[in-house]
Amino acid sequence: MSIRSQPVTRLEMTAIELNAEYLGVPSIQLMENAGAAVASQIALRFRPEESRIMILAGTGGKGGDGMVAARHLADRGFKVKLVLIGRPEEMHREAVKKNWETLRLMTDTISVTEAEDSSVIPAVEGEVVVDALLGTGSRGRLQPPVSQAVEAINGARGFKVAIDLPTGIDPDNGDILGKAVRADLTVTFHKPKAGISKASGMAGEVTVTPIGIPPEAETLIGPGDIVLTTKPRPRETHKGDYGRLLVVGGSEKYHGAPTLAAMAAMRTGIDLAYVAVPEAIAHDVAAVSPSLIVVKLKGSNLTEESIEELRPWLARSSAVALGPGLGLLPETKKAVRRFVEAVEDRGIPLLLDADGLKAFSEFKRPLKCPLVLTPHGGEYETLTGERLPSTLGEKVKHVESTARALNAVLLVKGAVDIVSDGTRTKLNRFIHNPGMTVGGTGDVLSGVVGALLSQGFDAFRAAVSGTFINGAAGDFAYHERGYHLLPDDLIDWIPKVMNSPMEHVSVRHF
């Protein structure tokens, strides 16, 4: 199956569009291209002098596509009537508002009617009827007046064209949301929507049309990837629904690394962070924040005896981050091996970083649990016994091969970060700055990715999103403090990047 023909879900398409905007292609341009594509498909099949066009448009993005299509069809000489289903005040996207204002000025060539409720929907007639009501953002059963508009479209005699996917079809699973448009032609954009092929007979002929989305919107990491690791939070949620991360690290000399990882995880939005450290440094870790649950392990470093102490906490956790500040004493490396086996038996995701990753390199193998490895170049050489090639293309191939061999997600840190599970690969080209050479930024990254793993997200998506969040937080910290930033500064920026990625993050800032 070609990349172009691979179906996408609603969230995946949203992520792609946000990443396209991050690359400098605004949503209004994508809307323009989409509407023009619909007009072109209609013009291929019908002649202006013989065909009247009636478009029923909603107040969202799909409605905006229909408004653009109306303008392009009028420019081609078609007689066009557009019915807005809903009120103009319900338009929230600026691109839709702008196209609506343009349409209202085209009084000589387009007939525009507003139907804010079902009682004023006019008779649907014309050789071509266009469904521009609800697109990939639709959820739940259709409500009036949209449901009545769907009935009116289905009852019309004209050739029915659906924009992106027929209104009333769930974009992901193809379920009919009470009722749905039965189209003769569906003009979908960039890639087919997952629900189209599952809604048997509803979409008619399906044509997939490019609308100018850069291919890099899917291969480069961007703010859209955060959308794919955002968990809804209904009122009835409970403590623990959003992840419990167990951070295992620290040694007599190092208490900062596991602390940074745990604090970053908390700021990423998990409910509980357990920090298991040797008792020699437990007081120092606990003093950083009362939000952390500190587990005191006997001795001054991780040992095989620590495993039994960790088991009750492992049973409570939904993911583990192992390695920050751990040290590489022989007994600690033995303990890493045994603890990895314990995590495997539990079956929850595991992130290995720093010393945990180095210890794993001595017994590396595919695990029976989701695994994320986060090496920099030197650690990657320790892991594989080979240096990364000098060219980016060869680096990517090498990382992909290693990911396949270990059945793991690799997040290889460098001038260009490479994230791969052996099949899927994404690159981070933009989010970097010299200030992030300060120690501890990698521990923050481990905490962010570990938090996303603990919330149940796919390991590849967690690593991709975590790379962007960590890098963007670092760039903003650098913007504030220059080379004087601390890893703590990144932690403060994590919520801001996650809550409003497009507001705070633009490639033009850096």
Domain membership flag for residue 260: yes
Average pLDDT, the chain: 93
Do residues 134 and 181 both lie within one domain? yes
* Residue 298: burial class (beta carbons within 10 Å; 0-12, 13-18, 19+): exposed
**End position of a domain, from candidates 182, 203, 219:** 219
* 3-7, 135-139, 176-180, 237-241 — most confident range: 176-180
> Does one domain contain both 257 and 177?
no
Q: How far from 100 is each of 91, 96, 135, 149, CA to CA, in Å? A: 9, 6, 17, 19
Q: Are residues 105 and 253 in the same domain?
A: no
Residue 262 confidence (pLDDT): 97
Domain boundary among 184, 219, 254: 219
The answer to whether 399 and 410 have CB atoms below 8 angstroms apart is yes
**Residue 56 pLDDT more than 60?**
yes
Same domain, 171 and 56: yes
Determine the pLDDT at residue 508: 39
**What is the tens place of the pLDDT at every residue in 92-102?**
999 999 999 99
pLDDT band at 507 (very low <50, low <70, confident <90, very high): very low
Q: Are 135 and 78 found together in one domain?
A: yes
Q: Which of 219, 254, 275 is the last residue of a domain?
A: 219
Please report, for the domain that includes residue 378, its CATH number: 3.40.1190.20
Examine the pLDDT at 433 and tell me if it is beyond 80: no
Q: Write down the pLDDT at residue 337.
A: 97
Residues 148-205: pLDDT tens digits? 999 999 999 999 999 999 999 999 998 999 899 999 999 999 999 999 888 878 999 9
pTM of the model as a whole: 0.92
Quick one: tokens of 362? 């001595």
For the cut 60, the answer to whether the pLDDT of residue 506 exceeds it is no
The three-class DSSP label of residue 342 is: helix
- 232 in any annotated domain: no
The residue among 88, 188, 213 whose CA lies nearest residue 135 is 188
Q: Are residues 197 and 162 in the same domain?
A: yes
**Does residue 349 register a pLDDT over 60?**
yes
Do 173 and 256 fall within a single domain? Answer: no
Number of domains in the chain: 2
Same domain for 111 and 248, yes or no, is no
| Residue linked to tokens 């290889």 | 412
Distances (CA, A) of 367 to 109, 204, 342, 361, 364: 65, 45, 11, 13, 9
Shared-domain flag, residues 362 and 484: yes
Q: What is the pLDDT of residue 84?
A: 97
Task: Based on the fold, state whether residues 285 and 351 are members of the same structural domain.
Answer: yes
Q: Residues 363-382, buried b or exposed e (16+ Cβ, 10 A)?
A: ebeebebbbbbbbbeebbee
Q: Which residues contact 447 (CB under 8 A, 6 or more apart)?
A: 245, 247, 260, 261, 262, 263, 264, 265, 268, 321
Output the pLDDT for position 478. Answer: 87
End-to-end CA distance of the chain: 37
- Say whether both 156 and 264 belong to one domain: no
Assign 3-class secondary structure to 240-254.
CCCCEEEEECCCCCC
Domain holding 69: CATH number?
3.40.50.10260
**Residue 503, in any domain of the structure:** no
**Among residues 270, 241, 247, 319, which one has the least CA distance to residue 498?**
270
The reply to whether 398 falls in a domain is no
- Within a domain: residue 473? yes
Distance, in Å, from the CA atom of 67 to the CA atom of 40, rounded to the nearest integer, reads: 14
**Over residues 466-489, mean pLDDT:** 90
Contact 19, 224 (CB under 8 A): yes
Q: Is residue 509 part of a domain?
A: no
175 vs 33: which has the higher pLDDT: 33
* Percent residues over pLDDT 70 in the chain: 97
Q: Which residue has the higher pLDDT, 98 or 507?
A: 98
Q: What pLDDT is stored for residue 135 in this prediction?
A: 86
What's the confidence (pLDDT) of residue 503? 64
Q: Is residue 480 part of a domain?
A: yes
* Pick from 374, 403, 368, 40: nearest CA to 189: 40
**Full domain range(s) for residue 370:** 243-383+444-498
pLDDT in tens, 72-90: 999 999 999 999 999 999 9
**Cα 391 off chain centre by:** 28
Is the same domain home to 151 and 28?
Answer: yes
Could you report the per-residue pLDDT of 326-336, keeping only the tens digit for each?
Answer: 999 999 999 99
504 in any annotated domain: no
Closest CA to 93 of 31, 150, 143: 31
Q: What span, in angstroms and rounded, lies between the C-alpha atoms of 147 and 128?
A: 20
Other beta carbons less than 10 A from residue 293's beta carbon:
16
